[in-house]
Copies of this chain bind each other. A is one copy, B any other.
Amino acid sequence: MSHDVRNRLSSIRRAFHRRPEPGWCEFRTTARIVEEIRRIGVDDLAIGREALSSEHRMAVPPEETLAEWHDRAAAAGVAPEILELTAGGHTGAVATVRNGEGPTVGLRVDMDGVSIPESEAAGHRPADEGFGSEHEGYMHACGHDAHATVALGTLEAVKASDFEGTFRVFFQPAEEVAGGGKPLAEGGYVDDVDELLAFHLGLGRPTGTVVANATRPLAMAHINATFEGASAHAGKEPSGGTNAMQAMTTAVQNAYGIARHGDGLTRVNFGRVEGGSASNVIAEEITLDGEVRGETTALMEYMRTELERVLYAAAELHECDVVIRRISESIRVDGDPTLAELVEGVARTVPSIDEVVPEAPLEASEDATFLMDRVHGNGGRALYLIVGADHPTSHHTPTFDLDERALDVGVELLTEVVSALGADRS
């Protein structure tokens, strides 16, 4: 890879890094991606609402949040055309190049940041080298800035390669909240994909290592529950209301006690709670954010069914109501083993890769599985891989950063794999 390409990848990644945007608010990120795609030149480009199924979106933030980020993007000079296509939480893009006859190969990446304030301490490279987050309270702490960059680099490289077939890149919004995979899978652009690749950088694997088949993502569902009681004065009439605080605590205690399952691993967590007014008032309304996971989609559904039952019964136990919202979800899909073998073989030929792990558990949840599931359903093959990248601290911490050499590794590997897939069919 040339120095120029390397520098461009680094520069693009750092531009993304400076402006992290949360799920469904990636207005400026989408604009920057479109700018690069147009520079590269593609045969087809779907932007925002053109690329996905609006009605299948999940975990869309409130109108005011969307408007705030949209306004910010407008103020930063994002073109009206893009602002319009992405308005109301319709971010993302799908780009297609056609290099003659051959299979349709897809590459899916994510692009959203997370609500973690980035470290400004010395020693944190983005701080040291001036590309730290300019959006206070938000950060690219999971490497999606690099994911989008690798996809752009691969797009450019594949276009210039001898690959024969159609290559399509899916820039998926809202991965962190498991909100964007489903609407992209329903958006139509996956339907003719024969081979689908998805990947994650880092995940504890060093630069130069590749996991050809990252399997067994936990299926997951996010849930929001609001208990609604009736307030009363805690001193004068302690039994006069219905106590949302007691309903909430009964629900949480029993949710963690949902029976483990004989069929495999499960998870449950309530990670945020807020409500009530003052110490001397029976709490009227309390909101919980929770999630469940399972080693299979069925186990996730078992947990979600149980969780919802617990929430309703706990509300009833304290004569409260509870409004449950299913925020988002992701399913369990494993990669195709024959495609994994192909990737493993190609990876062993890439000079910048020094270790290839045939298969390892992903140890996370992923909504790329919706796209994978669609491809498998259509008779195609899909695969999720891990491209190692040194990172000083864990994903989702304020000092997360990635070794940028992994950008090159990613582009090289994926370009070779795409080429091989073209060759494979021809």
Contacts and interface: CB of A to CB of B under 8 A. Distances in A.
A236 B283 contact: no
A393 interface: no
A309 interface: yes
Across the A-B interface, give the 3 residue pairs with the lowest CB-CB distance, nearest first. Answer: A256-B257, A234-B269, A313-B317
Interface residues of A, number: 67
Given A218-B235, A257-B253, A272 B262 contact: no
B271 A273 contact: no
A279 interface: yes
A144 to B, nearest CB: 16
Contacts of A115: 277-278
- For this chain, the copies found in one complex come to 4
A275 to B, nearest CB: 6
Interface of A: 115, 218, 220, 222-223, 233-240, 243, 245-246, 248-250, 252-254, 256-257, 259-262, 264-283, 286, 289-291, 293, 302, 309-310, 313-314, 316-319, 327, 363-365, 396
A39 to B, nearest CB: 36
27 contacts: A115-B277, A235-B291, A235-B363, A237-B262, A238-B260, A238-B262, A238-B267, A239-B259, A243-B259, A246-B254, A246-B256, A248-B273, A254-B317, A254-B318, A256-B259, A260-B265, A269-B279, A270-B283, A272-B275, A272-B278, A273-B283, A274-B274, A274-B275, A281-B396, A309-B317, A313-B317, A316-B316
Contacts of A239: 259-262, 302
Contacts of A246: 252-254, 256-257
